[in-house]
Amino acid sequence: MKRLLTYTVLIVGIFLSIGAFWYSNENIQERERLRFETVAKQITIKVEGRMNAYRETLYAGAGLFDSSENVTNDEWHRFVKALKIGKNFPGIQGLGFSRVIPQNQIKNPSKKQELYTSIIYLEPCDERNRRAFGFDMFSEEVRREAMLRALYTGEAAASGKVQLVQENDIDVQAGFLMYVPIYHKGMPLGTRSERLSALKGFVYAPFRGDDLMHGILGNRYNDIGLEIYDGEKNKSNLIFGGNQKGSISAAIVIENKLDIDGRVWTLCYRPYQGFLNESDTNDPWLILALGLLLTLAVFFMMLSILRTKEKAQDLAKKITLKLSLQKERMDNIFENNAAGIFVVDQNQNIITCNQRFCEIFGYTKEELIGKNASFIHMSQETYLVFVPHFFKAKSGERVKVEYTFKAKNAQGVFCEFVGTKIEIEKDNTGVIWSVLDITDRKHMEEELRSSEEKFRSMFTMQDAPMLLIDPDNGA
């Protein structure tokens, strides 16, 4: 029981240490999650704010067309230059104007369209942007959907994911565009058909995903993994991200939705390992280590005390056993052995026993052989407790047990059982038990303890001095 208590302390201590580790780790995870949510929200607000600024830039371009009958290429160049988009709006690929081409000016069109357009202005007029001049954006499905939305609402409209015509074979990035419609002055805009008839063109801005986000975020959030999807989260909709630059932590994932002029972006945030505070993340492991060390220290201390006590008990048992063996040593033959001996088969049925075993329990051999050994137990419950000892001995382990059994007269008999396996026949392994009736020994031990207490009391209660002399040598 005390050994069980010792191991119970060990198991409970281990579980408590693991529990403390889990609790501490959960607290740190929650704190890191809240901190990460705050950073993710800051980035979302930053992206939304920058996209609002880009939209206002397009409206400013639309205002230029509203204030002039005919905006020339030079005027557009000076307008964009004055905006200093490279400095004030980093991440934007450029500002342009796509003019509507009347259908009567289109000769032999490759396909029939509701309207035709052509990019005529695009600043800055660098090598990449020059690739876009003359392109009919209305001819492509994704761009056309955004242009029609802008046309019929009169508001800015963002497109879905596209590959810009500015792309070459170097550093190809996902892109999208933003459009603001330009109408001819004085024309009615009450219906869709009227808006279509009044359409002059679109002020628009192309964006390359990676350049856009680097322009918005810079190098400030290098410990944050960000992916932006146009719509639902799948690889085909990825506008930005997907190229990990370090070890991503799977413990925290945050998704935010952002409406960008008619398109819903999904912003998926994951922290790189560097985002997590290493000193904090080590705290649970320190708690676990200290808890386990304390548990082991208590366990080994209790085990040492228990072993010391067991050694003292074993010594007392050995002395008692030695006295008992000296008394019974004269009879070593099976029938005359001072110890009862009986053999049980794999089903615990008694197949043989000696006379001493019969004497211990008050039965004849005929009454014992063939019976199941359970009937010499005090109850079915005590028998079931004893059964594991049988299987230990049957497996080859030497088993020694002290137990109270029931004699024929229903009196309890305290016995010492020593068992080991025996091969009775093929596929029938049993156990041979040596049985000692130690009831008298137990009583003797009790009387000896009582005598010692009386003897000690006699000395302690005497007022006069007392002297003990050995009669053999006078000492």
According to DSSP, residue 92 is labeled B
> What is the residue extent of each domain of the chain?
1-306, 340-443
Contacts of 397 (CB under 8 A, 6+ apart): 420
- Write the burial class of residue 58 (CB in 10 Å: 0-12 exposed, 13-18 middle, 19+ buried): buried
HSE-up (13 A, CA, CB side) for residue 70: 1
pLDDT for position 242: 57
User: pLDDT digit string (tens) for 287-341?
Assistant: 888 888 888 888 888 888 888 888 888 887 887 677 666 655 644 568 888 899 9
Name the CA radius of gyration of the chain, rounded.
48
pLDDT for position 331: 47
User: pLDDT digit string (tens) for 168-220?
Assistant: 878 889 999 999 999 999 899 999 999 999 999 999 999 999 999 988 888 88
Nearest to 334 by CA among 225, 432, 250: 432
Q: Token digits for 311?
A: 């050694």
pLDDT cut 70: percent of the chain above it: 90
For every residue of 127-175, DSSP letters joined together read HHHHTTTT--GGGSHHHHHHHHHHHHHSS-EE--SB--TT--SSS---E
pLDDT for position 1: 66
Report the distance separating Cα 242 and Cα 445, nearest Å. Answer: 81
Contacts of 47 (CB under 8 A, 6+ apart): 213, 216, 228, 258, 267
Confidence of residue 121 (pLDDT cuts 50, 70, 90): very high
Under DSSP, is residue 249 helix (H, G, I), strand (E, B) or coil?
Answer: coil
pLDDT for position 229: 96
The answer, yes or no, to whether residue 279 has pLDDT greater than 60, is: no
Nearest to 117 by CA among 74, 73, 87, 147: 147
Report the distance separating Cα 411 and Cα 416, nearest Å. Answer: 16
Query: What CATH class does 1-306 carry?
Result: alpha beta
* This prediction's pTM: 0.56
Q: Among 225-234, 241-250, 316-325, whose mean pLDDT is lowest?
A: 241-250
Q: Which CATH number fits domain 340-443: 2.40.170.20, 3.30.450.20, 3.40.50.720, 3.30.70.890?
A: 3.30.450.20
- Better-predicted residue by pLDDT, 26 or 325: 26
User: pLDDT digit string (tens) for 60-77?
Assistant: 999 999 998 789 999 999
Q: Using an 8 Å Cβ cutoff, are 399 and 419 in contact?
A: yes
- Cα dist. 388→132, 150, 259, 350, 402 in Å? 87, 84, 70, 17, 14
pLDDT for position 287: 83
Mean pLDDT, residues 219-233: 88
Positive/negative CA dihedral, 327, 329, 334, 335: negative
Mean pLDDT of the residues in the chain:
87
The answer, yes or no, to whether residue 461 has pLDDT greater than 90, is: no
Q: Say whether 340-443 and 1-306 share the same fold.
A: yes
Nearest to 98 by CA among 195, 203, 208: 203
User: pLDDT digit string (tens) for 384-418?
Assistant: 999 999 999 999 999 999 989 999 999 999 999 99
